[in-house]
């Protein structure tokens, strides 16, 4: 599958294919876990802030409200 665009538009194209949606959601969760492991809080995660590239490669975007966590 080669859908490109924001998550909302891609979901409309692939509606009904749960395995594809599961893979997209798994990648979003992995991206958010990566941010957390690197002391970053996104603070504005929405479907329109997720970009899906060729071969269903997901990228978290829109970091205007993101914050870096320093220390404990």
pLDDT given at position 27: 94
Residue ranges of domains in the chain, CATH in brackets: 5-68 (1.10.510.10)
Catalytic annotation on 44?
yes
User: Residue ranges of the alpha helices (H) in the chain?
Assistant: 7-13, 18-37
Q: Which of 36, 44, 53, 59 is catalytic?
A: 44
Per-residue pLDDT of the chain (72 residues; tens, 9 = 90+): 556 788 888 888 776 678 888 888 999 999 999 988 989 888 888 888 899 888 889 988 887 777 888 875
């Amino acid at each position: 599958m080669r859908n490109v665009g924001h998550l909302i538009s891609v979901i409309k194209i692939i509606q009904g294919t749960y395995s594809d949606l599961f893979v997209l959601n798994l990648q979003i969760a992995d991206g958010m876990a990566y941010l957390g492991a690197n002391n970053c809080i996104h603070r504005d995660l929405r479907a329109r802030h997720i970009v899906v590239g060729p071969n269903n490669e997901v990228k978290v975007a829109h970091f205007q409200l993101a914050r870096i966590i320093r220390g404990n």
